[in-house]
Chain A
Amino acid sequence: MRSNITQYDLIAPNSLDAVLQILADSPDHYTPIAGGTELMVALGAGRLQSKKLISLWNLEELRFIEVTPDAIVIGAGTTFTDIRKHPVIASEFSILAQAASWTGSIANQNRGTLGGNIVNASPAADTPPALLAYDAEITLVSTRGARTLPYRDFHLAYKETALEPEELLHSITILRNYEGYKTYIRKVGTRNAQAISKVAIAVVTRMNKGRIEDIRIGAASVREYPARLTVTEQSLIGKAITPESIAAARSIIFAEVRPIDDIRSTAKYRATVAANLLEEFLLSLS
Chain B
Amino acid sequence: MAGTPPIVGQSPLRKEGKAKVLGQAEYVDDITLPGMWFGATVRSTIPRGRITSINFDPSIPWQEFTIVSAADIPGENTIVHLTKDHPCLAVTHVNHAEEPILLLAHPNRALLPAAVAAVHITYEELPSIYTIEDSEKKEQIIWGEGENANTFKTYLMQKNQVPIPEEVWEKADYIVEGEYRTGAQEQLYIENNGVIAEYDPETGVTVRGSMQCPFYLVHALELVFNLPAEKCRVIQTETGGAFGGKEDFPSVIGSHAALLAMKSGHPVKLCYDRAEDMAATTKRHPSRTRHRTAVSKDGKLLAGEIDFAIDGGAYATLSPVVLSRGTIHAPGPYLWPYITVRAKAMATNIPPHGAFRGFGAPQSIFALERHMDKIAKAVGLTPEELRRRNFLSTGDRTATGQLLSDPVDMQHLLTRAVEESGYHAKRKQFDRENPISTIKRGIGFATFFHGSGFTGSGERRLNSLVEIELTVEGLPRILVSSTEFGQGTNTILCQVAAQTLRLPYDQILIAQPDTGHVPNSGPTVASRTAMIVGKLVERAAQSLCATLVTSGDLPHDYTPEDFRRAAQLYLARHGALKSEARYESPEGIFWDDETYSGEAYPAYAWAVYVAEVAVDTSTYSATVTNFHTVQEVGKVLHPILAAGQIEGGVAQGIGYALYEKCLWNNGHLANNQMTNYIMPTSADIPPIHVTFEEVPSPHGAYGAKGIGELPMDGPAPAILNAIEHATGVSFNEIPLLPEDIFERMTRVPNTGTESLDPAIAGPIFSEASA
Contacts and interface: CB of A to CB of B under 8 A. Distances in A.
Contact of A273 (B619, B670, B683): B619
Contact of A193 (B621, B671, B682, B746): B682
Given A2-B113, A4-B111, A263-B670, A273 B618 contact: yes
B742 interface: yes
A144 interface: no
Given A3-B113, A5-B110, A45-B275, A188 B746 contact: no
Contact of A192 (B275, B618, B681): B681
B204 interface: no
Given A4-B110, A4-B114, A191 B678 contact: yes
B687 to A, nearest CB: 15
A139 to B, nearest CB: 31
B664 to A, nearest CB: 12
A191 B684 contact: yes
A192 B623 contact: yes
Interface in B677-704: 678, 680-684
Contact of A276 (B110, B113, B618): B618
A203 B193 CA distance: 46
A263 B663 contact: yes
Interface in A57-89: none
Contacts of B114: 4
Interface residues of B, number: 31
Interface residues of A, number: 28
Interface in A233-274: 263-266, 268-269, 272-273
B543 to A, nearest CB: 50
B183 to A, nearest CB: 15
A273 B620 contact: yes
Contacts of A194: 681
A190 interface: yes
Contacts of A196: 675-676
Contacts of B683: 191-193
Contacts of B644: none
A157 B326 CA distance: 51
Contact of B659 (A1, A190, A266): A190
Nearest to B739: A269
A247 to B, nearest CB: 15
B665 to A, nearest CB: 9
A280 interface: yes
A106 to B, nearest CB: 12
B619 A188 contact: yes
Interface in B382-429: none
A165 interface: no
Contacts of A46: 113
B648 interface: no
Contact of B739 (A5, A266, A280): A266
Contacts of B681: 191-194
A277 interface: yes
Contacts of A6: 110
Given A192-B681, A193-B684, A263 B676 contact: yes
A contacts with B: majority SS: loop
B506 interface: no
A273 B743 CA distance: 12
Contact of B746 (A4, A192, A272): A272
A277 B739 contact: no
A236 to B, nearest CB: 18
B160 to A, nearest CB: 47
| Interface-central residue, B109, B619, B739, by most chain A CB under 10 Å | B619
Contacts, number: 66
B504 interface: no
Nearest to A41: B675
Contacts of B684: 191-193
Nearest to A273: B619
A114 B742 CA distance: 33
Contacts of B111: 4
Contacts of A5: 110
Given A192-B623, A272-B742, A1 B110 contact: yes
A135 B357 CA distance: 51
A256 to B, nearest CB: 18
A265 to B, nearest CB: 6
B12 interface: no
Contacts of A265: 738-739
B767 interface: no
A38 to B, nearest CB: 12
Nearest to A192: B683
B679 to A, nearest CB: 8
A266 B438 CA distance: 22
A264 B737 CA distance: 10
A272 B113 CA distance: 43
B724 to A, nearest CB: 21
Nearest to B678: A190
B670 A277 contact: no
Contacts of A272: 742, 746
Contacts of A195: 678
Contacts of B113: 2-4, 46
Interface string B105-140: 000011101100000000000000000000000000
Interface in A157-213: 188, 190-196
A190 B663 CA distance: 14
A188 B619 CA distance: 7
Contacts of A1: 109-110, 273
B230 to A, nearest CB: 37
Nearest to B111: A4
B677 to A, nearest CB: 10
A4 to B, nearest CB: 4
A222 B684 CA distance: 25
A280 B273 CA distance: 43
Interface in B621-641: 621, 623
Contact of B680 (A45, A191, A269): A191
A266 B743 CA distance: 10
A269 B620 CA distance: 9
B676 A277 contact: no
| Interface-central residue, B114, B438, B663, B742, by most chain A CB under 10 Å | B742
Nearest to A264: B676
A188 B620 CA distance: 10
Contact of B273 (A2, A264, A266, A269): A2
Contacts of B670: 263
A265 B740 CA distance: 10
A84 B738 CA distance: 29
List the 6 closest A-B pairs by CB distance, nearest first: A193-B683, A276-B618, A192-B683, A2-B113, A4-B110, A190-B678
Given A263-B670, A277-B619, 19 more contacts: A2-B113, A2-B273, A3-B110, A3-B113, A6-B110, A45-B275, A188-B621, A191-B681, A193-B682, A193-B683, A193-B684, A194-B681, A195-B678, A266-B739, A268-B743, A269-B739, A273-B618, A273-B619, A280-B618
19 contacts: A1-B273, A2-B113, A2-B273, A4-B114, A188-B619, A190-B678, A191-B678, A192-B681, A192-B684, A193-B681, A195-B678, A196-B675, A263-B663, A263-B670, A264-B676, A272-B742, A277-B619, A280-B438, A280-B618
Interface of A: 1-6, 45-46, 188, 190-196, 263-266, 268-269, 272-273, 276-277, 279-280
